[in-house]
Amino acid sequence: MKNKVIFVTGGARSGKSDFALRCAEKIGRIRAYIATAEVLDDEMKERIINHKRLRGDDWDTIEEPKNLLIAFESLHRTYDVAIIDCLTLWVSNLIKDGLTDDTILKMTDAFMQLINRLKLSLIIVSNEVGMGIVPDNPLARRFRDIAGKVNQLIASISDEVYFMVSGISIRIK
């Protein structure tokens, strides 16, 4: 039996991570959290510390900002559920490292193939990037475009998709 893939999207501070944590806690007791954030400044360091504090000790945390395949290979235990938080930070990290859009899409495809072989349920968190104005610079437009495409690809293989608005989840698939 294929385990469930849940995709959670929405705006910044819309409650995506909290919703993902609640979903995961309903799915299983042995849980992993794959974090894509990098400590780039003191403010981000504090955000990461707060995220860890909110999860508590019932989670194994794997910090992997760029290679999601390696993150899954580093799961040494058998987990019921894992959260990836978040895809948009992952895409941003890859762009920052100079990867091309084609390479990012190939990495997404490899990740999607891995998802199909997983023996655990997976909750994937990502920001909705297409509801604002068109960015005024090429880098921001590139990020919006590639992140939007990655979101579409992951949503297409997900069993359930939720959109978060002000802490309220709306099931769209």
Q: What positions carry a catalytic annotation?
A: 51
CATH number, domain of 32, equals 3.40.50.300
- State residue 24's pLDDT score: 94
Q: What are the 10-residue block averages of pLDDT along the chain, 173 residues in total?
A: 86 93 92 88 84 83 88 77 94 96 96 86 95 91 97 97 97 97
Cα separation of 143 and 83, whole Å?
A: 22
Total domains, the chain:
1
- Domain span at residue 160? 5-171
**What is the per-residue pLDDT for 2?**
57
Residues 6+ apart with CB under 8 A from 127: 9, 10, 11, 12, 16, 86, 87, 88, 147
